[in-house]
Chains A and B, each alone.
Chain A
Amino acid sequence: MNETNLIRPIPFEDHFGLSKEDLQRALATALASGGDFAEIYLEYRAYNFVMMEDDIIKETAESISLGMGIRVISGEKTGFGYTNDLSPDKVRRAALAAAAIAQSAKTVPAIDLRSQTLDHDYYPVGEPCHRLPLEPKIALVKEAYLACQAFDPAVTKVRAGIQDSIQFVTIANSDGLLASDSRPMVKLTCTAIAEKGALREHGYSGGGGRVGLEYFRSALGPEEIGREAAREAVGLLEAREAPAGEMPVVLSPGHAGVLIHEAVGHLLEADFNRKKTSIFWDKFGKKIGTPLITIYDDPTIPAFRGSYNIDDEGTPPRKTLLIEKGVIRGLLQDRLSAGLMKMPLTGHGRRQDYSDIPIPRMANTYIAPGESAPEDIFKSVKKGFYADRFQGGQVEDSGKFTFSVSSGFLIENGRLTAPVKQATLIGSNIDILNKIEMVGSDLMFGLQTGTCSKEGQDVPVMDGCPTMKISKMTVGGRS
């Protein structure tokens, strides 16, 4: 029973109670004061949540989000209105709010919306979560919870939860595009508190993606998620303070993808380059790092959190080469920036929900595998820091970035020795990209639970990388 969008267009009228003619009329209203482009974004999202703590299923929740955003682009300017009441007068009011950006009344040529069909589907869903009753989801939560609790007597508190959603979007624009996507998402997470004497530590794990519930039986079991959270918490009880100062750093495969997300991905989002605030704006086609690194953002990887059949502007996405052997080759584009910069669309225009204006965003960002064997990378370090698990990071446009390590190890004479606690690492991106000395052959991806924030908008993302060595980076520990 494979639910797909293949060939069969999705009847958006059923979700929103608006006809093609209604959309055409709203687009015409939006362009009545002028403007180059108008677009409607309709969204319906149904979300379910189950949470277990203190050994009981404590709460369940359901949430419905329904609304419409409408924008008008006039040169570099955007007018935007939104409403969660889709009655004709409210839709018209939102269209007029968006129209206010343009000042030159003109006759709008008739807009003829043509439904777009897709020949791809990146959501390999067997059992769609949103159609299932709660019982099998509760069963998964309990399995994760109990496995976490049973892992070690030091585990004193556990919290496990499952969240699933279906997001149905329809995009219609004044170029005649009419496209829809039905995006599933599920996430099973577990947190553990472990205690030893006065010491208390925290561990986290999770998984999911744009998959069905069968994922937790075939790809990543709930017990594995529960045990992994417990393992991190219990392991940290034995950890010592992280070192402070500059030293060689080895990054774990998969989880350390957050470094690439922060150090490179954000500053290759087109808006920052169009506005010349990104340190990369004048370096297109130039070498900014070691030839060992090649970086892609690929929204078309099946099942991944960051993937989508069309972006939030209706553009089918493509795997985008960002850095090729250290040279900047691409930017992540949305419609506004691509138009102004006269560059091709890449399908990276995303928004948190209908009340937000789309902006260029990452999807699934990763460093392509290199040639070094991971064990050779460790062997090359006499004394250094191994960054294992991560809490996220941040970057500013100058290229200064941080990422926070939740647990790691010391490296001594080529071997992992003492486990160490949380530390933030800081660097300047171009400097660090030139200090990547070795790139492993073992490309992996991090947990399928990541979210990226930009300008107040959160979207699901993934990132990945092989084992890598940075010759020198500032580690912000305490000892």
Chain B
Amino acid sequence: MSALGPKSDLLTLAERLVAAGKACGADEIEVAVGDSEEFSVDVRMGDIESLVEAGSRSMGFRIIKDGKTASASSSDLTEETLARLFRNAVQRAELSNRDPFSGLPKLSPLRVDPESLDLYDPEVQTLDAIIKIDLALETERTALADKRITNSFGASFGTHEIRSVLASSNGFSGEFRKTYCSLSLGLQAGETNDMVEDFWFSSETHFRDLETPEQVARKAVERTVRQLHPRKIKTQKVPVIFEPLMTSSLLGFLFGCAAGTSIYQKASFLADKLGRTIGNERLTVVDDGLLPGRLGTSPFDAEGVPTQRTVVVDKGVLKSYLCNTYAARKLGLKTTGNSDGGGVSPNNFYMEPGPKTPEEIVRSCAKGLLLIRTLGHGLNPVTGDISRGAFGLWIEAGEIAYPVSEITISGNLGEMLKNVEMVGNDLEFRGSICGPTVKVAEMTVAGE
């Protein structure tokens, strides 16, 4: 923590609350306090639509007494409320059952100095409001200059600065600051009865890394107009190519299935599959909390466990589940630093890129679907079954032929992982879950 200078007021508060919780009778206690500053501007059709500026602070804690757990959280940080919440929690713990797997993790040292993770950009806080508003306005203006665009959902620019502190009765005491900024744009093209829509965004820790208004606008326009005048297709089985955002969504589903909390509940098709082959040799998936400057990076998780690099799938073999302390104990494994307070969350969860360019992957398809958007939530972690509404570009003889819509794609994640035929070289870290272009050998595409 030394790089942050003297201990902050927030950390002092958390440490004081740990002592107060112990005094109330808790055997173990963990207190998190978060402070956030938010700015966001939405513009639409050349004018500001909304401007938000605010700060907030909240806290949460977990106590264990006689092997029984109770937790609480509050955005009311008055002494009186917090004292009541502690008293209630200690009493409430009595009503739970003793759980041999409960309890805080053992204290372990951080792997890195939080400052070395490069999570804070001072420029985000000093940016003038006029500049932020202009970024959003310019993004939308650039896109609207394209005559194929008929309407706008608006452009947004936002910044967040977050300070997280955690103190526990196991001796942990830590804090870090993080910044986040984003620029996004949503568009419509086509006439009222034949409209298509899409969006693009850029989000980064550092303001200087953000895509320019020109880049965001150009990408949003291109993604929208390529869907104009879609056709319907017959129901058939074809190869499906996932664009990077679509792969990310698939990986989000995989994360949920590899979460230790789902595994011990048997709420995942990956339960009992540790050490087994779940995909082919092209599939390597990693969770890494230590990548400098990335959106999913942090020095420690919500239990004060140091984050790490965890290989989840290595050339098709399931190497690790992602666990908090509780799930790890239930499964007889080690925590991977993925606790989010209630369950588990990804750090930077990504699929290793492969050798092919996205263009090569499209060219490899005699006939197939380039998946560009999905609609709906048809994902079942227990079976791995997937069925979603889809929008795409139809591929014939290795070329994009025409857009298609009102179709669904369906398959099973377990089978799809084994049918990964090509992996693209276009991995970009746009969020905490990301992947490159991926070609799956065969899925059912339902249409007419």
- Interface residues, chain A, with chain B CB atoms under 8 Å away: 44, 53-54, 56-67, 76-85, 94, 97, 100-101, 134-135, 138, 156-157, 159, 191, 193, 195, 200-202, 242, 244-246, 275-277, 279, 281-282, 355, 357, 391-398, 400-404, 406, 421-428, 430, 474-478
Contact = CB atoms under 8 A, between A and B. Distances in A.
B306 to A, nearest CB: 25
CB-CB nearest 4 A-B residue pairs = A476-B408, A402-B376, A402-B389, A56-B97
Nearest to A280: B192
A79 B375 contact: no
Given A56-B96, A277-B195, 7 more contacts: A59-B69, A82-B52, A97-B53, A191-B267, A200-B266, A392-B376, A404-B388
A275 to B, nearest CB: 7
A159 B446 contact: no
Contacts of A83: 54-56
Of residues A63, A242, A400, A476, which shows the largest number of chain B Cβ atoms within 10 Å of its Cβ? A476
A279 B195 contact: yes
Interface stretch (B247-255, B291-299, B377-385): B377-385
Of residues B50, B58, B85, B129, which shows the largest number of chain A Cβ atoms within 10 Å of its Cβ? B50
Interface in B293-333: none
Contacts of B97: 56-58
A305 B337 CA distance: 37
B375 A397 contact: no
Nearest to A101: B51
Given A66-B76, A134-B95, A426-B375, A245 B448 contact: yes
Contact of A394 (B95, B385, B389, B407): B389
Interface stretch (B25-33, B41-49, B107-115, B117-125): B41-49
23 contacts: A62-B70, A76-B47, A80-B50, A82-B54, A100-B129, A156-B266, A157-B266, A191-B267, A193-B266, A200-B266, A200-B269, A201-B383, A279-B195, A393-B377, A398-B196, A402-B378, A422-B387, A425-B408, A430-B193, A476-B444, A477-B410, A478-B387, A478-B411
B54 A401 contact: no
A84 B75 contact: yes
A193 B271 CA distance: 12
B406 A357 contact: no
Contacts of B190: 398
A424 B378 CA distance: 6
Contacts of A63: 72-74
B22 interface: no
Nearest to B230: A400
Given A394-B377, A397-B188, A60 B70 contact: yes
Contacts of A427: 406
A200 B95 contact: no
A59 B265 contact: no
A369 B81 CA distance: 49
A366 B206 CA distance: 47
Given A56-B99, A193-B267, A64 B70 contact: no
Contacts of A97: 52-54
B185 interface: no
Given A57-B95, A391-B378, A64 B74 contact: yes
B288 to A, nearest CB: 27
Nearest to A201: B382
Contacts of A193: 265-267, 382
B92 interface: yes
B12 interface: no
B197 interface: yes
B172 interface: no
A384 to B, nearest CB: 15
Given A62-B85, A84-B57, A477-B444, A402 B410 contact: no
Interface string B142-171: 000000000101000000000000000000
A476 B375 contact: no
Contact of B92 (A54, A64, A134): A134
Contacts of B380: 202, 406, 422
B388 A397 contact: no
Of residues B50, B58, B389, B411, which shows the largest number of chain A Cβ atoms within 10 Å of its Cβ? B389
B101 to A, nearest CB: 9
B195 A426 contact: no
Nearest to B446: A244
Contacts of B409: 476
A81 B444 contact: no
B95 A138 contact: yes
Nearest to A195: B266
B447 interface: yes
B52 A81 contact: yes
Contact of A244 (B92, B235, B375): B235
Contacts of B235: 244-246
Contacts of B267: 157, 191, 193, 202
B348 interface: no
B265 to A, nearest CB: 6
Contacts of B269: 200
A157 B375 contact: no
A428 B406 contact: yes
Interface string B58-76: 1000000000011111111
A422 B72 contact: no
B448 A246 contact: yes
Nearest to A52: B97
Contacts of A281: 192
Contact of A200 (B49, B53, B375, B383): B383
A414 to B, nearest CB: 24
A400 B382 contact: no
A424 B389 contact: yes
A355 to B, nearest CB: 7
Contact of B376 (A65, A397, A404): A404
Interface string B75-106: 11100010001001100110111110000000
Of residues A67, A195, A478, which shows the largest number of chain B Cβ atoms within 10 Å of its Cβ? A478
Contacts of B335: none
B405 interface: yes
B99 A58 contact: yes
Interface string B397-440: 00000000111111100000000000000000000000000000
B197 A397 contact: yes
B56 A355 contact: yes
Given A64-B73, A246-B448, A279-B192, A476 B389 contact: yes
Nearest to B93: A60
Given A56-B97, A427-B406, A200 B376 contact: no
Nearest to A69: B54
B184 to A, nearest CB: 12
B377 A77 contact: no
Nearest to A158: B265
Contacts of A406: 380
Nearest to B376: A402
Contacts of B446: 244-245, 474-477
A242 B407 CA distance: 15
Contacts of B377: 391-394, 404
A396 B153 CA distance: 12
A84 B37 CA distance: 12
B195 A398 contact: yes
Contacts of A478: 387, 410-411, 444
Contacts of A64: 72-76, 81, 85
Given A357-B52, A394-B376, A58 B69 contact: yes
